[in-house]
């Protein structure tokens, strides 16, 4: 089919909201796996810097993001910025499949659920996207948390007294030997408390902000004139930046506590409350916001890249009938 026929099937902003039933699932999963792996590759060093800052002790506590980045390069070179990357990529594929499936099915069901209430477009979008993000993140945690535990330990190995490992399998073997399978789920509760609300806030902020911007530009209810691709991507990217800013500010304290719990040795297992007290004792209340800069950048950069790629992926994988 030529591009003219395809464009004719999606003529307006209203119809670019491609729902789950109109997606080619196989194509979505295969192409999406490659696309999101590329985004992860580009942004992974930011996660390493954030994690190092969150677990820093002694003189390392005074380093900002740039100084931490330079120190990693000085000590470990470029490979130091990608510690744990292979583990993350291996776990990312099934995690993404679960997440995207739960996200889109929940979003479609939620939009139908609120139809009778005659809510405004931004409110409907915030509710449907927020609930979808919450449930999608919760469902994917079963795979994500063990991957997160292993990758976090690899990111900080040999740093501030943390143990060294031969790779992801070595981490998993030692954690299971010392603490059983539950060791791979250390911080599971906090992880759900971090990522589920974070996902809900991100998707709710993105869904509502995007519609507010479209409404301000006079496109929200325009079913005849399609916005240009450049404008479409620009608005989606703006929504991603806004969502990243809101999410990083709301969830950084919980993320800092979770990271500390996950990287500590098995023989030294403080409770979450003890970690909070230690952070406050070391650095005051601002200790809970360690790594806020990298987390904001990571959340905004990842969110913006992810949503632009994902929205493009949905358009690419939309089922189009022959005209």
Report the CATH number that the domain containing residue 57 is assigned in CATH. 1.50.40.10
pTM of the model: 0.70
What is the signed CA dihedral for 244, 248, 251, 253, rounded to 10 degrees? 170
Q: For 196-253, how does the pLDDT look when each residue is reduced to its tens digit (9 = 90+)? A: 888 999 999 998 888 888 888 876 665 556 677 788 888 888 888 888 888 888 878 8
The answer to the question of residue 236 being in a domain is yes
**Residue 24 tokens, joined:** 């080619």
Which residues, including other chains, have CB under 8 Å from residue 86's CB and lie 6 or more apart?
Answer: 167, 168
The answer to the question of residue 34 being in a domain is yes
Largest CA distance in the chain: 67
In whole angstroms, give the CA distance from residue 30 to residue 97. 10
What is the mean pLDDT of the segment spanning 125-149? 90
Q: What are phi and psi of 23, to 5 degrees?
A: -110, 140
Q: What are phi and psi of 227, to 5 degrees?
A: -70, 155
Which residues, including other chains, have CB under 8 Å from residue 295's CB and lie 6 or more apart?
Answer: 50, 248, 252, 255
Which residues, including other chains, have CB under 8 Å from residue 221's CB and lie 6 or more apart?
Answer: 14
Q: What is the mean pLDDT of the chain?
A: 80
Q: For 166-207, how does the pLDDT look when each residue is reduced to its tens digit (9 = 90+)? A: 888 888 898 898 888 888 888 788 778 778 888 999 999 998
**Residue 25 tokens, joined:** 């699932």
Task: Show the domain range for 185.
Answer: 21-217+226-317
The answer to the question of residue 275 being in a domain is yes
Q: What pLDDT shows up at residue 8?
A: 37
Q: How many CB atoms lie within 10 A of CB 312?
A: 16
In whole angstroms, give the CA distance from residue 158 to residue 154. 9
The answer to the question of residue 258 being in a domain is yes
The answer to the question of residue 242 being in a domain is yes
Q: Domains in the chain: how many in total?
A: 1
167-171 CB contacts, 8 Å cutoff, 24+ apart: 167/86, 168/84, 168/86, 168/87, 168/90, 171/87
Q: How confident is the model at residue 102 (pLDDT cuts 50, 70, 90)?
A: very high
In whole angstroms, give the CA distance from residue 133 to residue 277. 31
The answer to the question of residue 10 being in a domain is no
The answer to the question of residue 11 being in a domain is no
Burial classification of residue 20, based on how many CB atoms lie within 10 Å of its CB (0-12 exposed, 13-18 middle, 19 or more buried): middle
Nearest to 125 by CA among 32, 17, 266, 22: 17
Cβ proximity of 252 and 295 under 8 Å: yes
Cβ proximity of 321 and 9 under 8 Å: yes
Q: For 279-322, how does the pLDDT look when each residue is reduced to its tens digit (9 = 90+)? A: 888 778 777 787 777 777 777 777 788 888 888 888 888 876 53
Cβ proximity of 42 and 305 under 8 Å: yes
The answer to the question of residue 7 being in a domain is no
């Amino acid at each position: 089919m030529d591009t003219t026929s395809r464009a004719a099937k999606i003529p307006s902003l209203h119809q670019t909201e491609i729902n789950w039933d109109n997606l080619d699932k196989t194509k979505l999963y295969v192409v999406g796996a490659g696309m999101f792996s590329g985004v992860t590759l580009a942004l992974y060093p930011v996660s390493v810097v954030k994690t190092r800052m969150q677990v820093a002790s002694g003189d390392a506590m005074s380093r900002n993001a740039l100084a931490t980045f330079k120190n990693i390069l000085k000590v470990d070179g470029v490979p130091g910025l990608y510690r744990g990357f292979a583990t993350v990529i291996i776990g990312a594929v099934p995690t993404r499949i679960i997440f995207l499936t739960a996200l889109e099915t929940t979003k479609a069901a939620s939009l139908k659920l609120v139809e009778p209430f005659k809510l405004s477009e931004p409110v409907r979008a915030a509710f449907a996207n927020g609930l979808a993000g919450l449930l999608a993140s919760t469902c994917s945690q079963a795979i994500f948390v063990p991957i997160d535990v292993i990758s976090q330990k690899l990111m900080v190995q040999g740093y501030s007294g943390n143990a060294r490992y031969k790779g992801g399998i070595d981490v998993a073997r030692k954690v299971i030997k010392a603490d059983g399978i539950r060791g791979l789920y250390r911080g599971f509760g906090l992880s759900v408390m971090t990522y589920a609300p974070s996902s809900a806030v991100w998707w709710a902020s993105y869904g509502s902000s995007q519609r507010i911007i479209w409404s301000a530009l006079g496109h929200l209810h325009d079913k005849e004139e399609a916005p240009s691709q450049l404008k479409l991507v620009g608005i989606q990217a703006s929504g991603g930046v806004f969502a990243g800013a809101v999410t990083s500010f709301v969830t950084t304290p919980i993320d800092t506590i979770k990271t500390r719990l996950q990287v500590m040795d098995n023989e030294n297992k403080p409770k979450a409350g003890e970690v909070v007290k230690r952070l406050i004792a070391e650095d005051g209340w601002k200790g809970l916001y360690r790594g806020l800069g990298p987390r904001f950048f990571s959340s905004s950069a990842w969110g913006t890249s992810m949503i632009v790629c994902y929205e493009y992926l949905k358009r690419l994988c939309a089922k189009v009938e022959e005209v």
